[in-house]
Amino acid sequence: GNTENYILGCDLDIADFNVEDYKSNVFSGKFNGNNYKIYSTEKDGGLRSSLFYKVENAFIENIIFSASDGAFAADANGIPEFNYLLIYYCIDSIVRNCISYWQPAFIARFNDKNFSVGGLIHYTNNSEIQNCINYGDLYIGNGAPIVDIAYQTNIINCKNYGNITGELKKNQ
């Protein structure tokens, strides 16, 4: 895994980001977004899953996560087709002071059905999520604006200001 430390020095367009290049990598370092914006100008958002696929023993902070207006693909009903997350798997890590303006904050399609994904983080285990905010609207099948699935995780002082629409479904 990557154990380096990074500090972002300017806004970053991830339009050419290739998700296949990073799925096998685990990030275990420190990433300070320095309150710069990570965004995409591509119509499909520039990624299919998340900025960090898996973080473990990592420290992620001060990221503003956003897409340009209309920078997502949608189906015929206007429902977005891809999910955009900061982190997909977050294990034994700290995430703090991160903000998502991504529109939509949630959506994923599998066999033409929505499935659960959080607005910032899909799955956490033994982690701490502090002072994170979601402003993105949430179309929800079964998910949450900050973290979708949290095991032994402290979620402290996090807020959602986005609209939540859709149908809540009981997990089968």
Q: What is the pLDDT along the chain (172 residues), one digit of tens a residue?
A: 678 899 999 998 877 666 556 667 789 999 999 999 887 766 544 445 677 889 999 999 999 987 654 444 455 555 544 456 788 889 999 999 999 887 654 444 444 554 445 568 888 999 999 999 988 777 665 556 677 778 899 999 999 887 777 665 555 5
Q: What is the pLDDT of residue 163?
A: 75
Q: Are 150 and 116 in contact (CB under 8 A)?
A: no
Residues 6+ apart with CB under 8 A from 17: 40, 46, 47, 51
Encoded tokens for 17: 């980001």
Q: What is the pLDDT of residue 14?
A: 77
Q: What is the pLDDT of residue 28?
A: 94
pTM: 0.79
> Hey, what amino acid is at 87?
I
Q: What is the pLDDT of residue 118?
A: 53
Q: Are 38 and 10 in contact (CB under 8 A)?
A: no
